[in-house]
Structure formats: structure tokens, C-alpha cells
Amino acid sequence: MSDAYLALEDGRVVEARGRAPGRTRGELVFTTAYTGYEESLTDPSYEEQVLTFSYPLIGNYGVRSERFESDRIHPRAAIAREFTEDVVDWLDEEGIPAIDHLDTRELVTSIREEGAMKCGIAVGPDATPEDAKEELDACKGMSEHTDIGAQVSVDEPAVYEGGDEATVALIDCGAKGSIIESLCDRDATVHVLPYDATREDVEAVDPDVLFISNGPGDPKNFEAAEALVDSYIGDLPVAGICLGQQVVANALGGTTEKMAFGHRGVNQPVRDLESGRVVMTTQNHGYTVGEPGDRLDVTQVNVNDGTAEGLANDELGVLTRQYHPEANPGPHDSLDFFDDVLDLVSTDAAVATSD
């Protein structure tokens, strides 16, 4: 056991048990998920954040790499009421500071009441409250991470062969691996392109659909992806998930805004406005679409707060989701989104043939 201190933006310093040593800083957020800690910790959307688990025991079914969403842990640090040794060993191996034996219920309540906040963490035998405060003082707001895409995106294009149903140009703003798997499972071949890909990069792929992935931070900082949407809209079907929905909205005249504490968990209810059907969804985002603009229709909303969960324009061939239809470990109520995306391709081809 080692000393650990968590310095919060509201002025408090919380003492905890240190499980993996180090000093770091980030935006303090929480997830309500009670399973899927491996998926959460490897989700690129948590880049530059400190992840608090509201469920009290994290690690009770071990750590298996086949559940990972990327090749590394993305949160700057991890907090729980109690971590098992399996998770601690994993965090320690990757150099991610971890603390437990603190009141996570109070921490989550503070975030809900005050909003996601900056924090600093110091863990180790010689750690002091002042060390944690120094980290807090150096912490930047999420919107200040203007090139966060470079931290989570591929450096070079990659191809995942799924079949000849469609060719997808996936702009990697921090894509979860299960998005690629979901498309490949439907016989699509996926070309993963860097977050700052140009129109020439996309043209080299000759895709049937442009897909903007999830990712961390402020969607306004993903200007290259927004420019691609603006360039291809009306000429190519466009789809997006999570940050991808926000980027599409910004490109088509909508607005995005930061949420107080975001949606992070596996039990967010979403209602489809046409069918009235409600599905449970996995979500991980701190920004949302404020106004969709004149070119996009809101098709789905969050039951709890009314925020936009789905956008579409049938004439332009646009379809987006704020939540994660490909969610691992679940729920899988909305996996048909990927079928609908590939239907955009067949519809677009039929229109082109008739013309």
C-alpha cells in the first residue's frame, strides 16, 4: 500500500489507497457501467480523462485482451472503490496510476452536481497533497486539447477485409475496434484513415460510404473530418457514431456544446421518434449536438434529458448515432444501425443507376 492523493478543481484533496504509482492529471468523469471495465479502459474516447467507476468492485472477472477496444489503456488514471489485483497489475504494467479505498459515491455525486472537473493525482510512497495540486494546476480543459486526434488515431491507413458488400472509409478519430468488427461482420471492407485525412486520401480508397468514428474531446477540434463531411455531402453516404455525429452536425450547420457531466455507462435509454421504441444503449461522451441545423432531422432522443441521439437526412444519405450501437459488452439492442448504414450504400447505388 502506498499513499495517494486526488486534488479536485473544487479545492478538495482526497486521500486514497495507491494501487499503481505515478503522477498525472485530466478531466474527472465517471461511468455507471457495472461490467465492461476492460472495454472502458481501452476506449480511446477516454483520452485525457481520469475515469471513476461508480460500481464498487472492478475486476471481478479478470482481464482478457480479446475484450479490448484498442491496443492500450486511454484514461490518464483510474479510480474505484476497490480494484482487484488482476486490474491493478494491468494498470501498473501500462503505467496508469490507480487509486481505490475512497468514497466513489461522494465523488460521483460531486461530478453530477458540479460537472466534470479538472483533477490531479499523485500516487506512491513519497506522494504528497502538494504533488497532486501541482498536477491539477497544470491540467487543461478538454476543449484546450486541440490536437487530441493525433493521440488516438492511426498514423497510416489500414485495411480490414470483410467482403465486397461495401467499401467504407472510416475516419479514425479514436475508433473502437468493435466498430470495425461490426462493419466487417456485414461483409464490408473497411479502410481506416487518419483523423486528418484529406479528400485525396479518401478518393484513393474509392469508398461507398464515409464513416466518422467516435473519439475524445471537443468535436470542433476535428476540423479535417468536418471538412471531409462538407466536401462529400450529397455525393457519398455519410455515417457517424458519437463524436462522429457531432462532427457531421457541425459540418451541416448545426451546433455542439459541452455537457455538464456527459453520458457514460451501459444503461442510457434512447427513444426512436418514428417507432416510439425505446432501447438501452452504451454511451461515452462529454459533448452533444445542441442544434441540428436545417439540414438534419433528429430521429432519436435520450429519454432522460432529451438530447439528440440520432440524426438523419434521407435525401443526402446521412445517418448518425450519438450512442455506441456496437457496444461491448452490451446491450446489443441497436446493432441494426450498421445494417441501415450499408442500406444507404445500396440506396445510393440505385439512385445513381436511375440517373
**pLDDT tens, residue by residue, 1-20:** 469 999 999 999 999 999 99
The x, y and z cell numbers of residue 85, run together, are 489485483
Catalytic, out of 173, 242, 263, 285: 242
Helix-strand-coil split of the chain, %, nearest 5:
30, 35, 40
Residue 322 DSSP class: S
The pTM is what?
0.96
Does residue 254 surpass a pLDDT of 50? yes
8-state DSSP, 139: P
285 classed as catalytic: no
pLDDT higher than 90, residue 50: yes
Which pLDDT score is estimated for 329?
A: 72
Spatial distance between the Cα atoms of 260 and 269, rounded to a whole number of angstroms = 18
Burial 45-72 (b: 16+ CB within 10 A, else e): bbbbbbbbbbbeebbeeebeeebbbbee
The candidate with the shortest Cα–Cα distance to 32, out of 58, 55, 57, 56, is 55
Contacts from 85-90 at CB under 8 Å and sequence distance 24+? Answer: 85/59, 86/59, 86/62, 87/37, 87/58, 87/59, 87/63, 88/19, 88/20, 88/59, 89/63, 90/63
CA distance 267 to 298: 21
- The answer to whether 145 is a known catalytic residue is no
Residue 153 carries which DSSP code? S
Model pLDDT for residues 171-183, shown as the tens digit of each residue: 999 999 999 999 9
Residue 223 has pLDDT above 50, yes or no: yes
Q: For the chain, state the CA radius of gyration.
A: 20
CA diameter of the chain: 72
Q: What is the pLDDT of residues 103-158, one digit of tens each?
A: 999 999 999 999 999 999 999 999 999 999 999 999 999 999 999 999 999 999 99
Strand 22-31 vs strand 49-53: parallel, antiparallel, or unpaired?
A: parallel
Q: Is 191 a catalytic residue?
A: no
Grid coordinates in use for 12? 478538495
Could you read off the pLDDT of 70-90 as tens digits, one per residue? 999 999 999 999 999 999 999
First vs last C-alpha separation in the chain: 70
Helix axes 243-251, 223-232, angle to 10 degrees: 60
